[in-house]
Structure 1
Amino acid sequence: MKTTNFVLGLITGSVTAAVTVLFSTPQSGREIRSSVKTASTDMLHKLNDVKGKLSELTDSITNMSKEAKEIVPEAISDVKGSIEQWKISTEKNKERLEKEISAIQNSLLELEQSIANQQK
């Protein structure tokens, strides 16, 4: 829903409600004119408040999108850098573990061979 449609609906509904209330109350002409002036003044103040708040909301959304365009790429870059550093720091441990596993496998093979030789 577009903002202009929302504001237009809000204004139309408010005016309709105000006119209905004014014409359905038992008042004199002078009282009705005074009520209409007061209602229209209140309506203008409320409409100006709504416009101001919509403007603030639009500005906030614009600023947020600008910040997101700056922050998100930086965050992605930082995460990629952290992952690369983690890979580099774990590479030494990976190589050491591979050597230890290989040594254990060789020891197991030698043990199996010595057991097989003893059983003969």
Structure 2
Amino acid sequence: MKASTFVLGIIAGSAAAAVTVLYSTPQSGKELRSSVKSASSDLKYKLQDVKVKLADMKHSVKHLANEAKEYIPQTVDGVKESIEKWQMSTASNQVRLEKEILAIQNSLEELEKSIAAQNR
């Protein structure tokens, strides 16, 4: 949602509320003007507060985006480096396991041949 749309919605809602209050109030004209003036002043304060909070939020989002641009590439590089180190540290085990698996397969083939020879 855009900030301008949000502010426009607040203004339109406030105007509708003011009109409703004007037509449904049992106050005298002087009291009503005082009440409207007070509500107007309060609305201006609240709108200013909304603007400040939106500016703070915009600044926070910008700061977060800048930090993400800085730290995400570093984190990705760190993860890549960790994976490479892990692969290097497990390479010898991988070779050993492949040899053992090959030896087991050869033993199974010999066992199958032996069983087949005995069954003849």
Q: Spell out, residue by residue over 1:47-73, the C-alpha distance to the aligned partner (whole angstroms, 9 max, x if none).
A: 111111111111111111111111211
> Which residue does the alignment assign to 1:97?
97
Which sits farther off after the overlay, 58-67 or 19-28? Answer: 19-28
Q: Which runs of 5+ in 2 are unaligned?
A: none
Residue in 2 aligned with 1:3? 3
Tell me, in whole angstroms, the C-alpha distance in 1 between the residues paired with 2:29 and 2:38.
14
Number of equivalent positions: 120
Question: Per-residue deviation at 1:85?
Answer: 1.0
Partner of 2:23: 23
Q: CA deviation at 1:7?
A: 0.7
TM-score, normalised to structure 2's length?
0.83
CA deviations over 1:11-68 (Å, ceiling 9, x no partner): 1211221232133212211111101110111101111111111111111111111111
Name the residue aligned to 2:58.
58
Task: Look up the equivalent residue of 2:87 and give its one-letter code.
Answer: K
Provide the residue aligned with 2:34 in structure 1. 34
Q: Cα offset for 1:79?
A: 1.3
Question: Cα RMSD between the aligned structures?
Answer: 2.3
Taking a change above 3 Å as real, the CA distance of residues 118 and 28 of structure 1, as seen in their structure-2 partners, is closer
Counterparts of 2:43 and 2:10 in 1: how far apart (Å)? Answer: 11
Greater relative contact order, per chain length (Cα 8 Å cut-off, separation 6+): 2
Q: Which runs of 5+ in 1 are unaligned?
A: none
- 2:85 corresponds to which residue? 85
- Higher mean C-alpha deviation, range 66-75 or range 96-105: 96-105
Deviation at 1:107, TM superposition (A): 4.3
Q: Give 1:108 deviation, angstroms.
A: 4.6
User: Which residue of 2 is the match for residue 72 of structure 1?
Assistant: 72
Length-normalised TM-score, structure 1: 0.83
Distance of 1:28 and 1:107 partners within structure 2: 106
